[in-house]
Structure formats: C-alpha cells, structure tokens
Amino acid sequence: MSIVVENQTTQILPDEQAVLFPTFGYRRRDGDWEVQIRGQLFGAVAAGLKRRMFLGLLRRLMRADIGELTGDIFQRRLEGFLAESRSRRGVTIQLGDQGYRLKRLTRRTGHFTGRIQLPSATAAALRETGDVTDGWLSYRLVLPPPDERSFSGAAQLIEPVGVSVISDIDDTIKISHVSDSQALLRNTFLKEFEGVPGMANKYQQWQERGAAFHYVSSSPWQLYASLADLSTREGLPRGSFHLRTYRFRGPVPMPPILSNKLRKGWIVKSILRRFPHRRFYLVGDSGERDPELYASVARRWPKQVAGVFIRRVAIPDRPAPARRLDPLFRSVAAPWRLFDNAEELPDVLDTDTKRIYHAATRP
C-alpha cells in the first residue's frame, strides 16, 4: 500500500528519467478504490563494455550485418535495454492535491510498484476536477524542486461488473513470429512494429460496447514505448499493460531477451481474482502456450470466462492448431473459437455466450 506524505518527493535527479505504465484500479469490499501503480526510474544509456557485449550478443542471435545495427529503429529499441536502472529510490505519487509515498523502494531494475487506497468520495471529486476522464485516473510523480518536468501515468478505474478482454500481444495483435527466435529478434529490433490486420478495429468495437482491456505479454518492459506507439498508431483501445521484467546480466549463451517464460498465468489469474463478478474473454494465438493457459483458466473459473479466441498461427513440424486445441478445450464449459482473420470474431461481446457463438466453435 502507500502512506500519505507531505514535503516528500521522488528521489530522481535532473539527468534521470521516469516512465509510468498504464495500470488499473478495482473496488475494494468497502467500496473504495485500490489503484495499482507501476513505473521505472533510469539514467543514461550505458556505454563501454556493457554496450559492446549486448550489441555483440544481438548481432550473433539475429545474424545481422553491422550496417543493420546503425539504423534509427535499432538505436531506439536498444536504449531501453542499456539504460542504467536506479535502485533503492523512494517514489511519491500525486493524485489531485494529495501525495502518496509508495512503501517499497525501486528494485534493482529501477522498477517500482505500489497500491494506493482511494476513497470513493475522493474519486468522485477527481472526476469533477478532470483528474478522472473516461474512467481513467491521472496521476504524476512528485519531483524535487526546482525540477519542473512532468512524469504522468494513468490507471483505469474498472467497476466490479462488466466485460473485460485479456489479450496477448505477440502474434495476436502484433505480427512477431514468436516461434522463430531469429525472426522474432529481427522484428523486434530492426523493423517497425506491425499490427495484425483488423484486430484494432475489432477491439474498438468491443470497447464501444463497454469492454475493458488488459494487454498481457512476454515482451520485456524495455519495449513498452514501442508497443505504446504501435497501440496509438493502430488505434487499439487503452488498457493496462503487463509485460516481463528483463535485466541484462552479461554474455550468457541464450539470454531470455524475448523469452516466453513470463509469469503469464499468474498475471491472468490475478486479474480474474480482482474482478470476480466480471465476465472475461481471453484472446491469444496458437503459436506458443496461450491455448494451454486459457483452457486451464477457463476450467478453473467457468463462471467468469465467457469465451476464448485463438488466432491460428501455423508452425512447421507441429500439429495443426485444431488438432492441438480440440483435446485442450474438450472439458471447458466456455465456448472457444480458432480464427484466421479478425472478421471472424463477433462484433459484440456478450455475457450470454450463446448469442455470439452462432457458428461452430471449431472449424
């Protein structure tokens, strides 16, 4: 949690930077809000040995020419991985005219997390002042004077009842080719991110009917800025982001730069636990382990999972997605659908799943 403070600021220097990631808030049993906070403090981009090791590692893994490592896209993506993190720093958040000191200091990676208890009456007042707009609560870091910069963040205040979408990112709404590690790295570091055709429009339709979004991915937090740019460019709905913490430790044989071993199941389950009365649609792809995770979640929370959508990703030397998914979802009460194009998804999400699954759930 956090504590209310006066005259206490975030421990950040003028030559350092901060980023606040989009999160969400949920109703407590007493009716007040609990708002999740997440961000990172970091300094200048590292030079010298660390930079040379990381560049050498990427070049080998991507089999890239030296000329490919001089482009603007590569340099922008590289910055997040080489920025010096700021650990053991205190962080103070301002909501309206009130400051809240996070109990935990920044971690070794510079990341900080916390929760702020916000009385319902205060949230209502913040709506009047414009600090809550379209359900999103704005907040910012309290900086030491005379620092006049502004580092702001936002959390969506999600009501206990409604429809939510938990969406994977790679190969679900962003073309990544996760199953091919070399192609994945090249798409990540050398190319502009490209959205999966039609998915943004479909998500917009769902948002217009009231759906809230949570984007859960194994991509590291260092790619958040690029993913946020993609989201804006494609017109994806705003939502909370849940990525993976990665810290470069040196030239190991195959570092998990883009590992899929995120605690993804823990994140998805924690979101469902926060909203026991909401109905959830789980959207992912067949390229990695989304089907296994979503089938497990749907069996455990049959009253909350309203449906599962899996984008078909063909992988050489692997069973066809339909053959793999049929046994997984055989004992799942929620309907599921394997799809190739966004147009195959329903235009409206409904808690009455029978009305949207008018066609067979399996091709």
Q: Give the phi and the psi of residue 339 in degrees, each rounded to 5.
A: -130, 155
CB 324 within 8 A of CB 317: no
**Euclidean distance between CA atoms 264 and 293, whole angstroms:** 8
CB 135 within 8 A of CB 158: yes
Handedness of CA 286, 290, 293, 299 (dihedral sign): negative
The per-residue pLDDT of the chain, averaged, comes to 90
Distance of CA 349 to the CA centre of its chain: 21
Which residue is listed with tokens 């350092």?
16
% of the chain surpassing 70 pLDDT: 91
Higher per-residue confidence, 305 vs 289: 305
All domains of the chain, ordered by start, with CATH?
2-44+86-158 (2.60.40), 163-355 (3.40.50.1000)
At 9, the amino acid letter reads T
What's the pLDDT score for residue 61? 84
Handedness of CA 125, 128, 130, 134 (dihedral sign): positive
Tens-place pLDDT, residues 133-167: 999 999 999 999 999 999 999 999 999 999 999 99
Q: How confident is the model at residue 276 (pLDDT cuts 50, 70, 90)?
A: very high
Q: How confident is the model at residue 363 (pLDDT cuts 50, 70, 90)?
A: very low
Q: At what angle do helices 49-62 and 181-189 cross, to 10 degrees?
A: 130
At 101, the amino acid letter reads R
Q: Residue 163: which H helix or E strand, with range?
A: strand 163-167
Tens-place pLDDT, residues 77-118: 988 888 999 999 999 999 999 999 999 999 999 999 999 999
Q: In sequence order, which residues have a C-beta less than 8 Å from that of residue 6 and are 6 or more positions away?
A: 99
**Euclidean distance between CA atoms 215 and 244, whole angstroms:** 12
Higher per-residue confidence, 3 vs 215: 215
Whether the pLDDT of residue 321 is over 70: the answer is yes
Distance of CA 96 to the CA centre of its chain: 26
Task: Please give the model's pTM, rounded to 2 decimal places.
Answer: 0.93
Q: Give the phi and the psi of residue 116 in degrees, each rounded to 5.
A: -115, 125
CB 280 within 8 A of CB 165: yes
Tens-place pLDDT, residues 221-266: 999 999 999 999 999 999 999 999 887 766 554 445 655 555 789 9
Between the alpha carbon of residue 3 and those of residues 86, 151, 246, 300, the distances in Å are 22, 20, 29, 36
Mapped onto helix, strand or coil, the DSSP state of residue 214 is strand
